[in-house]
């Protein structure tokens, strides 16, 4: 039942860094990204093209993208997140051809996160696709397993939005558990329903670890044959404005679980863990991953 | 496939407290135990009868046992751990009729932990059973999923020891992942093999969370129909002499995952979480559970 191999999409430099209050020097960001590439990571959200007024941490997006574009190996897939057309435009200008567009499965979170109704996010996506036909757009669907404002998010709402996205030609979608409230049974049911309705979709999963269920949810995904997982170095991420709230599922913990079950991931753990130690040294945020606590700084 | 209900065996006052360096006042221990009983916990390892020269934290075992024996509701099952005959004798003297006897699935850990070969631990158990026919002996089999000294512990070694234990009349066994190195696939395979060979065994699982796989392993156990889980309040436990090493799977995180999947556990979460907050206040050890970071102190 379990897949033979998984694909990691590292999101630390985007979902992790964006939650760090203190500005991380651009050279440290680049050094951490390069460390992960050296470890074998071949898909990564390297930054986020958002208005720096909203998110000062990402003001160096173009600089980061340019350097990685210049130095990364050919088989490396650099991805940037963009919440709107302006962001996609800037990502394309910076040389990127893979963009994550984000919208939410719940209205109130979409409103808070990207400042408009879901309907307008979908219209915005259609417009982007028309304007940037050579850019590959993948979609992260936030709050797919629960919403901080609305609570439960019915599976039928998720499926409705997926139908719209599929209709727009989107074929790569990541279901995100933004607040780490999904459970393994829910993951099983959700993945089964999505797979049944959209068998040819490239489906990824992204679980925050707020309640410690990140790895359980990944195991549930693996049991359903899902191969693509977004995780973050050291577990960086979560909400910096909710004290004590844990962040993302840590990449190194995920890789360790996966390989202990005999599933391949093509990442060199020693090199990756050295990069975790670099994050500990350079980034002033607590790491919530378990293996990271064993890494020397 | 998932069970409708699980049984929690709380091990915080034993496996958790024993790893706290600073002496916890007996009254605080009792107050925490009572808080959990009030929350609905009905099976608990309340202390450990070991030589106080080895483990000063447990020097008040008889006092704790006497107070709980006097005040706990009738349906509460107070359990103490004992590594040898002297310990069982002291537990019985203190009024307890349920004792956890501990041995390891790997020779070197058994030697380090209880200072004798597995063979002698088994002989010691037979002697205890003869001497205390009215005492219910359950067995915790440490290092069932891996050993800090020997690495992998072959499943056939676990099954061999279970065969010996079964032959001695033991019918309640807890497979313990002492160093948190087991993975969900291994749990699935182990539980299936044990169930096939010993279908009438009362089987429990105890996972440390050192590498973040505690809840994933519990989910794997649930998928195999296992209903008994040993976990620790706040995640207290682990090895206090290995800096940064995480401890047990936190009871409150386990209860949260289980109930989010619609499985009953009969614990009142608010009362339990108030007791977690009391642990935060009274016990000078970091709590590694995820929900505990959300509890006010």
CA distances from B92 to A275, B44, B120 (A): 53, 16, 22
Higher pLDDT, B238 or B122: B122
Provide the number of CB pairs (under 8 Å) joining chain A to chain B.
88
Q: What is the CATH number of the domain that holds B165?
A: 3.20.20.70
> Tokens 């079950």 correspond to what residue?
A261
Q: Mark residue A176 as left, alpha or beta (left: phi above 0; alpha: psi -120 to 50; beta: remaining).
A: beta
B246 contacts A293? CB cut-off 8 A: yes
Q: B135: helix, coil or strand?
A: coil
Helix (H) or strand (E) holding B71: helix B61-71
Establish if B155 belongs to a structural domain.
yes
Count other Cβ atoms within 10 Å, centred on residue A110.
Answer: 23
* Interatomic CA distance for residues A255 and B58, integer angstroms: 38
Establish if B236 belongs to a structural domain.
yes
Give the pLDDT confidence of A35-44 residue by residue, as tens digits. 999 999 999 9
Residue ranges, chain A, pLDDT below 70:
239-246, 295-297
Contact B143, B105 (CB under 8 A): yes
B184 contacts A261? CB cut-off 8 A: yes
CA distances from A272 to A252, A268, B87 (A): 7, 6, 46
Q: Residue B101 is encoded by which pair of tokens?
A: 């006897």
CB distance from B151 to chain A under 8 Å?
Answer: no
Q: Which residues contact B288 (CB under 8 A, 6 or more apart)?
A: B209, B234, B235, B238, B246, B247, B248, B250
**B244 pLDDT more than 60:** no
Residue B12 DSSP code: I
In the predicted model, what is the mean pLDDT of chain B? Answer: 94
CA distance A36 to chain B (A): 20
Residue B210: its chain A contacts at CB < 8 A?
A: 290
Give the pLDDT confidence of B48-92 residue by residue, as tens digits. 999 999 899 999 999 999 999 999 999 999 999 999 999 999 999
CB distance from B250 to chain A under 8 Å?
Answer: yes
* Interatomic CA distance for residues A240 and A251, integer angstroms: 19
Q: Residue A198 is encoded by which pair of tokens?
A: 């959209």
Establish if B276 belongs to a structural domain.
yes
pTM: 0.96
A103 forms bridges with which residues in the sheet? A141
Query: What pLDDT is attached to residue B293?
Result: 77
* Interatomic CA distance for residues A21 and A241, integer angstroms: 9
CB distance from A151 to chain B under 8 Å?
Answer: no
Query: What pLDDT is attached to residue A190?
Result: 98
The interface predicted TM-score of the complex, written ipTM, equals 0.94
Say if residue A7 is exposed, middle or buried (CB neighbours under 10 Å; 0-12, 13-18, 19+).
middle
The angle at the Cα of A165, spanning A160 to A167, to the nearest 5 degrees, equals: 95
CA distance B59 to chain A (A): 31
* Interatomic CA distance for residues B96 and A19, integer angstroms: 51
CB distance from B219 to chain A under 8 Å?
Answer: yes
A218 contacts B216? CB cut-off 8 A: yes
**B241 pLDDT more than 70:** no
Say if residue A173 is exposed, middle or buried (CB neighbours under 10 Å; 0-12, 13-18, 19+).
buried
> Tokens 């797919």 correspond to what residue?
A144
Establish if A1 belongs to a structural domain.
no
Backbone torsions φ then ψ of A30, nearest 5 degrees? -65, -40
Query: What pLDDT is attached to residue B229?
Result: 98
Would residue B295 show up in a list of annotated catalytic residues for this protein? Answer: no
* Interatomic CA distance for residues A49 and A26, integer angstroms: 15
Query: What pLDDT is attached to residue B245?
Result: 55
In the 3-class helix/strand/coil scheme, how is A42-111 assigned residue by residue?
Answer: CEEEEEECCCCCCCHHHCCHHHHHHHHHHHCCCCCEEEEEECCHHHHHHHHHCCCCEEEEEEECCHHHHH
Q: How many domains does chain A have?
A: 1
Query: What pLDDT is attached to residue B288?
Result: 85
B261 contacts A184? CB cut-off 8 A: yes
CA distances from A214 to A105, A184, A229, A281, B138 (A): 19, 9, 11, 25, 32
Query: What pLDDT is attached to residue B297?
Result: 46
CA distance A280 to chain B (A): 13
Give the pLDDT confidence of B181-192 residue by residue, as tens digits. 999 999 999 999
Strands (E), chain B: 7-10, 43-48, 77-82, 98-104, 136-142, 172-177, 202-207, 228-231
Backbone torsions φ then ψ of A130, nearest 5 degrees? -70, -40
Q: Which residues between 184 and 213 in chain A have a beta carbon less than 8 angstroms from any beta carbon of chain B?
A: 184-186, 209-213
Residue A220: its chain B contacts at CB < 8 A?
A: 219
Which of A35, A57, A10, A69 lies closest to A280, judged by CA?
Answer: A35
Q: Residue A256 is encoded by which pair of tokens?
A: 């360790």
B264 forms bridges with which residues in the sheet? B5
Among the listed ranges A100-109, B117-126, B231-240, which one has the minimum average pLDDT value?
A: B231-240
Query: pLDDT-derived band of residue B246, with 50, 70 and 90 as boundaries?
Result: low
Say if residue A1 is exposed, middle or buried (CB neighbours under 10 Å; 0-12, 13-18, 19+).
exposed
Strands (E), A223-287: 228-231
A220 contacts B215? CB cut-off 8 A: no
**B105 pLDDT more than 90:** yes
Contact B10, B41 (CB under 8 A): yes
Backbone torsions φ then ψ of B223, nearest 5 degrees? -60, -25
Q: Nearest by CB to B212, from A186, A215, A245: name it.
A: A215
CB distance from A224 to chain B under 8 Å?
Answer: no
A216 contacts B216? CB cut-off 8 A: yes
> Tokens 């958790």 correspond to what residue?
B16
Q: Which residue of A has its CA nearest to B293?
A: A244
Count other Cβ atoms within 10 Å, centred on residue A290.
Answer: 25
CA distance B104 to chain A (A): 22
Count other Cβ atoms within 10 Å, centred on residue A197.
Answer: 12
Residue B269: its chain A contacts at CB < 8 A?
A: none
Instruction: Write out the residue range of the structural domain in which residue A52 sits.
Output: 7-294
Establish if B117 belongs to a structural domain.
yes
Query: What pLDDT is attached to residue A242?
Result: 47
* Interatomic CA distance for residues A112 and A178, integer angstroms: 13
Query: What pLDDT is attached to residue B296?
Result: 55
* Interatomic CA distance for residues A197 and A165, integer angstroms: 13
* Interatomic CA distance for residues A94 and A63, integer angstroms: 8
CB distance from B42 to chain A under 8 Å?
Answer: no
Establish if B32 belongs to a structural domain.
yes
């Amino acid at each position: 039942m379990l897949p033979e191999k998984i694909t990691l999409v590292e999101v630390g430099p985007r979902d992790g860094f964006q939650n760090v209050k203190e500005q991380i020097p651009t050279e440290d960001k680049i050094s951490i990204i390069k460390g992960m590439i050296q470890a074998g990571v071949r898909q990564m959200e390297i930054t986020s093209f958002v208005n720096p007024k909203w998110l000062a941490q990402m003001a160096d997006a173009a600089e980061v993208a340019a350097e990685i574009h210049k130095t990364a190996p050919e088989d490396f897939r650099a991805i940037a997140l963009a919440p709107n057309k302006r962001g996609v435009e800037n990502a394309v200008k910076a040389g990127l051809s893979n963009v994550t567009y984000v919208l939410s499965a719940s209205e109130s979170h979409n409103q808070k996160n990207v400042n408009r109704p879901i309907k307008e996010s979908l219209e915005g996506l259609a417009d982007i696709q028309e304007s940037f036909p050579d850019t590959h757009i993948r979609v992260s669907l936030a709050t797919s397993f629960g919403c901080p404002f609305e609570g439960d998010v019915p599976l039928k709402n998720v499926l409705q939005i997926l139908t719209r996205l599929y209709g727009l030609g989107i074929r790569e979608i990541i279901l995100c558990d933004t607040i780490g409230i999904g459970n393994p049974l829910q993951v099983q049911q959700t993945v089964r329903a999505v797979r049944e309705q959209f068998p040819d979709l490239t489906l990824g999963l992204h679980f925050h670890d707020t309640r410690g269920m990140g790895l359980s949810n990944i195991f549930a995904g693996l049991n359903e044959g899902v191969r693509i997982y977004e995780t973050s170095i050291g577990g960086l991420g979560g909400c910096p404005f909710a004290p004590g709230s844990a962040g993302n599922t840590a990449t190194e913990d995920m890789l360790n679980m996966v390989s202990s079950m005999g599933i391949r991931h093509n990442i060199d753990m020693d090199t990756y863990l050295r990069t975790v130690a670099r994050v500990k040294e350079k980034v002033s945020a607590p790491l919530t991953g378990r293996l990271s606590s064993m890494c020397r700084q």
